[in-house]
Structure 1
Amino acid sequence: MSFFNKALASLGIGNAKVDTRLKQIQYRQGDLIEGEVFVQGGQVEQTVDEIYLYLVILYHQDNSQQEYVMEEYRLSEVFTIGPRETKVIPFEFSLPYDTPVTTGGCPVFLKTGLDISMAVDPDDTDGIEVLPHPLLETVLQVVERIGFQLTEIDFEFENFYSRHPFIQVFNFKPVGDLRNSLDGLDLMFYIGERRLEAIFQVDRKATDLMSSLEEALELDRKTFRLSISEEDVKGGDQELERKLTDLIVQHAQ
């Protein structure tokens, strides 16, 4: 019977199971993620070579969905799990600052798995909601107050610097006074603990022959960068609003 059970376990039948339980499912970029991994033994004793935890991003590129492992964490050394035995492994890690926010339809989840030799490896997936870093959220709110509306959150795959194959882009359209001079405004961010670097791409509207030629040659975009710290908005974001308004108007010319 023992040999038969081991054979079944190697096929994933009566195998050990894994279940990850998070303290919460909603986080901001940079937040601490805490949880526990529950390993439930199967019908036979098994050796677990490791428990791994992946931070996985799903995104679309060229009309197909891509799965990207953003971070990988090893949670344990080799251990043995007995029949029906339960082991609990606590863990914590900081959600990377460059994790995409999930608001734009970009699923983010944690995938936990057991690496068991000569057996089907059991796994578990848990989706999380990723909210913007407080500084990023402040910038988005200021841009909307200036007279823009967020229309889409997508990804850029070329002409940027990132440790990943993409960077998240926030697309705005003008709904205020600037709608006569701009077609749109795109924002990208490089986020740190207390500071971020924002890249603004201003898409100017074609209003005459020269600007029409620039648009045809894709020369109608102007880019500027702005570094923003917690100290800059500690007493309110009015100064940031004035600075952004001046910069956007300047680059709309």
Structure 2
Amino acid sequence: MSRLGVGAAEVETVLDRPETLPGQVVTGTTTISGGKVDQEVEKVLVALEATVEVERDDSTWYEQVTFGTQQVGGGFTIHPGQQISGRFELPVPWQTPITDVGGWHLHGMKIGVRTKLSISGAVDPGDLDPVGVHPLPVQEAVLAALGDLGFHFRSADVEKGRLHGSDLPFYQEIELKPAGEYARRISELEVTFLVDGAGMDVVLEADRRGGLLSSGRDELSRFRLAHHDTDRHALAGLLHQQLEHLGRRRGWF
């Protein structure tokens, strides 16, 4: 009997809009096309998927991690030549990594919708349909304010693991290069956003020139913003205060 090989049923997903924001939904249509024989479709699953960096000992590699999985169909027989379509709405978790800022794609960031078809106990992972995740207004405002302070984007990655307040088994780090007064003492600033329905925690970690400030990951500064805290000038002042406070604690300034 054919399962998921040559002549098996296939699934195709078409997204209504391949762009979204954290906290919103991705909508689309799945279409299952029958193969050469009748097959029992047990489950049709859709999920978000991220490329995640894993570090262990002295090794680094990447994994595809699915999250927010939802069953959108199943429990029917698909016949040869038959097509069955269904709609879906897939919630985008608040802490989904962002992939695009200000019209620019963040290099290395890859988020998509994975459609899985379960037939007779075998699972076809299907194709990955890319999704662009744009920042919330408060996230965009924080990044713009850091730009006003002279920080420039260097890179971004998604690391496996959890911080206090994490909802997902990974978190995003946006790495910025300092300029001006900060460049004399900081070689790199890493920013992590931990968002929920009420607001957002901003986690800052800095590397001091000449060496790492702490072993492993050390939350050097963390503060809370509401979703409506989008005043760029006010945020620049707050971030400057946070960095000054951090510098006084660590003896930078």
Q: Does 1:27 align with 2:20?
A: yes
Q: Of the candidates 47, 69, 73, which is equivalent to residue 70 of structure 2?
A: 73
1:176 is matched with 180
Is the 8 Å Cα contact of residues 198 and 227 (structure 1) preserved in structure 2? yes
Q: Does 1:49 align with 2:46?
A: no
Q: Of the candidates 52, 55, 58, which is equivalent to residue 59 of structure 1?
A: 52
Matches within 5 A, 1:1-253: 7=1, 9-10=2-3, 12-61=5-54, 62-102=59-99, 103-117=106-120, 121=124, 123-157=126-160, 160-161=163-164, 162-205=166-209, 215=211, 218=214, 223-233=220-230, 236-253=231-248
Q: Cα offset for 1:194?
A: 4.9
CA distance in 1, matches of 2:125, 2:205: 45
The AA in structure 1 aligned to 2:135 is: P
Q: Cα offset for 1:107?
A: 1.6
CA distance in 2, matches of 1:223, 1:78: 51
Decide which structure has the larger Cα Rg and report it: 1
In the superposition, relative to structure 1, how do residues 122 and 15 fare at CA in structure 2: closer, same or farther (>3 Å)? farther
TM-score normalized with structure 2 length: 0.82
TM-score normalized with structure 1 length: 0.82
In the superposition, relative to structure 1, how do residues 40 and 157 fare at CA in structure 2: closer, same or farther (>3 Å)? closer
Structure 1: any 5+ residue segments left out of the alignment?
1-6, 207-214
In the superposition, relative to structure 1, how do residues 86 and 199 fare at CA in structure 2: closer, same or farther (>3 Å)? same
Is the 8 Å Cα contact of residues 12 and 121 (structure 1) preserved in structure 2? no
Could you say what secondary structure the match of 1:140 adopts? helix
Q: Cα offset for 1:37?
A: 0.3
The AA in structure 2 aligned to 1:193 is: G
Deviates further, 169-178 or 113-122: 113-122
- Identity among equivalent pairs (%): 26
CA distance in 1, matches of 2:9, 2:161: 43
The AA in structure 1 aligned to 2:163 is: F
CA distance in 2, matches of 1:231, 1:106: 26
CA distance in 1, matches of 2:132, 2:115: 17
How many residues were matched structurally?
Answer: 235
In the superposition, relative to structure 1, how do residues 121 and 174 fare at CA in structure 2: closer, same or farther (>3 Å)? closer
CA distance in 1, matches of 2:24, 2:214: 39
CA deviations over 1:108-130 (Å, ceiling 9, x no partner): 22221221117674733312222
Q: Cα offset for 1:226?
A: 1.6
- Over aligned residues, Cα RMSD in angstroms? 2.5
Could you say what secondary structure the match of 1:106 adopts? coil
Q: Cα offset for 1:11?
A: 6.0
